[in-house]
Amino acid sequence: MTTDAHPESGLRKATLTDQDLVETSWDHCRVHALAVTDDEGPPEDPTLDYREDDDLDPTAPSALQLRLDLDYIVRRVDPGPMRDIRFWVAPATLIFHSVWDIVGGLHSVCLPFELKNLRQEAPSQSGEPCWHLEGRNLDLRFQASSYTLYLRQPPRYGPRVLRMAERGGIGFDPKPFA
């Protein structure tokens, strides 16, 4: 028997993966920040001679990650006619692993980004998954081995966009609340 991570909102688990794609809705999720990161970094042993240009191996998997800080809408609550629609929303970190071949556009830096859909497209010639992340003011296509969505706080009931103070500012922390 599994227990829900947040029964009041209907959230079953605080960490979702590409295996949950069919059950996951991305519509109207506000993106507060995005980053492409390389978590490999220099070797921890200070005695090793480290040169970045020596570290390039075209056959090695990419160490790049595409990270998005977003307000993930767990559930939409429609109270009926003439009432405001409310949402269960949680600040979340979406991380695509082993990313490469990013193409597309960010169409505005003045207006907020908002997700509309994330879908997996036909695999590349190498057999790796291809992803299409689309929304208002963004349209990105890329290859990535997988993704993980971490809900960093329990969902809150209210409007679909959280205030910075409520969500703890911008964050890319890969730690779920439960």
Tens-place pLDDT, residues 92-119: 999 999 998 999 999 877 788 999 999 9
| pLDDT mean over 119-127 | 84
Write out the residue range of the structural domain in which residue 120 sits. Answer: 15-37+62-167
Evaluate whether residue 172 is within a structural domain. Answer: no
Instruction: For residue 106, give both structure tokens.
Output: 């960010």
DSSP codes of every residue in 52-100: GGGG--TTSPP-EEEEEEEEEEEEEE---TTS--EEEEEEEEEEEES-E
Evaluate whether residue 118 is within a structural domain. Answer: yes
Instruction: Tally the domains of the chain.
Output: 1
Evaluate whether residue 112 is within a structural domain. Answer: yes
pLDDT tier at 58, thresholds 50, 70, 90: low
At 122 the pLDDT is 86
Evaluate whether residue 81 is within a structural domain. Answer: yes
Instruction: For residue 30, give both structure tokens.
Output: 């506000």
φ/ψ of 164, rounded to 5, equals -55, -40
Evaluate whether residue 123 is within a structural domain. Answer: yes
Among the ranges given (35-44, 58-67, 76-85, 123-132), the one the predictor scored with the smallest mean pLDDT: 35-44
Percent of the chain with pLDDT over 70: 86
At 44 the pLDDT is 61
At 154 the pLDDT is 97
Evaluate whether residue 57 is within a structural domain. Answer: no
DSSP state of 51: -
At 78 the pLDDT is 87
Evaluate whether residue 8 is within a structural domain. Answer: no
